[in-house]
Amino acid sequence: MSGLKIYNTLTNKKEEFKPIDPNHVTMYVCGPTVYDYAHVGNARPVVVFDTLARLLRHDYGALTYARNITDIDDKIIEAARREFPGKSQITNEDIKVISEKFAKVYEEDMAALNAKTPTIQPKATKNINEMIALISDLIEKGHAYVADGHVLFQVSTMKDYGALSGRTVEDLLAGARVDVADYKREAPDFVLWKPSSDDQPGWPSPWGRGRPGWHIECSAMIEKNFGQTIDIHGGGQDLIFPHHENEIAQSKCSHGGANLANYWMHNGYLTVDGEKMSKSLGNYVTVHELVDEFSGKGEAIRLALLSAQYRQPVDFSRDGIKQAMKQLDRWYRLTDGVTATEPSDAVLKALRDDLNTPKAIMELNQLAKNDSNKGILKASATLLGLLGQDNWFEAGLSEDGISAVQIEQLIVERAKAKQEKDFAKADQIRSELAEQGITLLDSPNGTTWEKK
């Protein structure tokens, strides 16, 4: 019994978390469509749910955390067309080249943010049969129909469709404003399976060669890995409708009304000047370039993302990352060589209150005020995925820049100059190092250095 409270999108309320199995929590978070580099906005759910995963493991012991990889999607097909401009047909193998490349980049970038690899990372193309089985079941149960090579889910067959996003079937039927594809019976119907032309990748199915719709993979993979109901389902707020709504429709209608997830959690957006960071707006920065820009210190990006509570928007700024960096510098200086003990109750309490990371950070600062709390500070920070790097101040040294040995030599030289009261030379060495981002710290016990 940990007292964890979670804001549930399903009820729009903060609720006490009660796992189905108190000794083993299940969580599924929507992962990337692997067709390009992930931007910082895409990284927010990763960091948020990684933090939640750390808390759940601490509080409940066992956690199975799944994050899917969407490796079949029209965007991937487009990317493959750009990759192979001469090819008239894009095959299943071609899109694999794209998806495997970006799945690998994604994993590396998220690791740079100190996000642990989820327990399982199911791929859509490895679960085609499961999806076909689920679609067939929905057709049998009268919730889906075949039309013009497509299989569509008929939204009006589900009475409580729209419960997650606060919509009603009536409103959706009435509010149709976009051109409705002529193979649809009703405007809100969505695709479960769509036909592939000869130049598109595809898989055989009872409805002809085709590929899955966007939402079906999550339903199928949750069923396969967890059964009918999981504890927590997470993702960005932009997934509430239609993606998660449709996942619920598919799974509930196939499972006789059983909940797909008992708790739905959605993180707010990363914004740039108040607007959502997105590919289409072009106002994005990739994690890849940002990690590079901040000398591999991804933890600073992570802390910047955790500086606001996860449901609030976070405005992206390099200044925010720099602030986070300073914060980490201070904590790292304090906990150098310290062994983590047990996390503090205050930090745990903050995190258990719907993952109140800003409050948790405040509590970390309180711990930092007292030397006797160093071990607790380190253990508590680990819950947030912070203070995990061994040589924080040396991490920024690049291979083509100055080496640690060279720095040490210059420090010795400067110590000699200082002894001889040649302060001009001493200062010159210090400013030369400063130009390379090396800050020297003199103390009674000698001089140490930090790479910024």
Partner RNA sequence: GGUGCGGUGGCGGAGAGGCUACGCAGCGGAUUGCAAAUCCGUGUACACCGGUUCAAAUCCGGUCCGCACCUCCA
Interaction with RNA in 328-347: which residues (CB under 7 A)? 329-330, 333
Interface with RNA, residue 122, by CB under 7 A: no
Interface with RNA, residue 181, by CB under 7 A: yes
Burial class (CB in 10 A: 0-12, 13-18, 19+), 414: buried
Residue 74 or residue 140: which is nearer to RNA going by CB?
Answer: 74
Residue 302 or residue 430: which is nearer to RNA going by CB?
Answer: 430
Interface with RNA, residue 101, by CB under 7 A: no
Phi-psi region at 130: left, alpha or beta (left = phi > 0; alpha = psi -120 to 50): alpha
Residue 391 or residue 423: which is nearer to RNA going by CB?
Answer: 423
Contacts of 141 (CB under 8 A, 6+ apart): 253, 254
Q: Whole-number minimum distance, CB 21 to RNA, in Å?
A: 25
User: Do the Cβ atoms of 315 and 306 come closer than 8 Å?
Assistant: no
Interface with RNA, residue 349, by CB under 7 A: no
Site string for RNA, 55-94 (x = CB under 7 A): -------------x-x--xxx-------------------
User: Do the Cβ atoms of 209 and 128 come closer than 8 Å?
Assistant: no
Q: Among residues 142, 175, 204, 257, which is the contact residue for RNA, using CB under 7 A?
A: 175
Sign of CA dihedral 303, 307, 311, 314: negative
Interface with RNA, residue 426, by CB under 7 A: yes
Q: At what angle do helices 374-383 and 318-334 cross, to 10 degrees?
A: 140
Q: Among residues 213, 298, 343, 385, which is the contact residue for RNA, using CB under 7 A?
A: 213
Residues 261-320 close enough to bind RNA by CB under 7 A: 268-269, 271, 274-276, 278-280, 307-309, 311-315, 319-320
Residues 3-32 close enough to bind RNA by CB under 7 A: 12, 30-32
Token representation of residue 210: 């085709």
Q: How far apart are CA 225 and CA 53, in angstroms?
A: 18
Residue 62 or residue 174: which is nearer to RNA going by CB?
Answer: 174
Residue 224 or residue 418: which is nearer to RNA going by CB?
Answer: 418
Contacts of 386 (CB under 8 A, 6+ apart): 114, 299, 302, 303, 328, 331
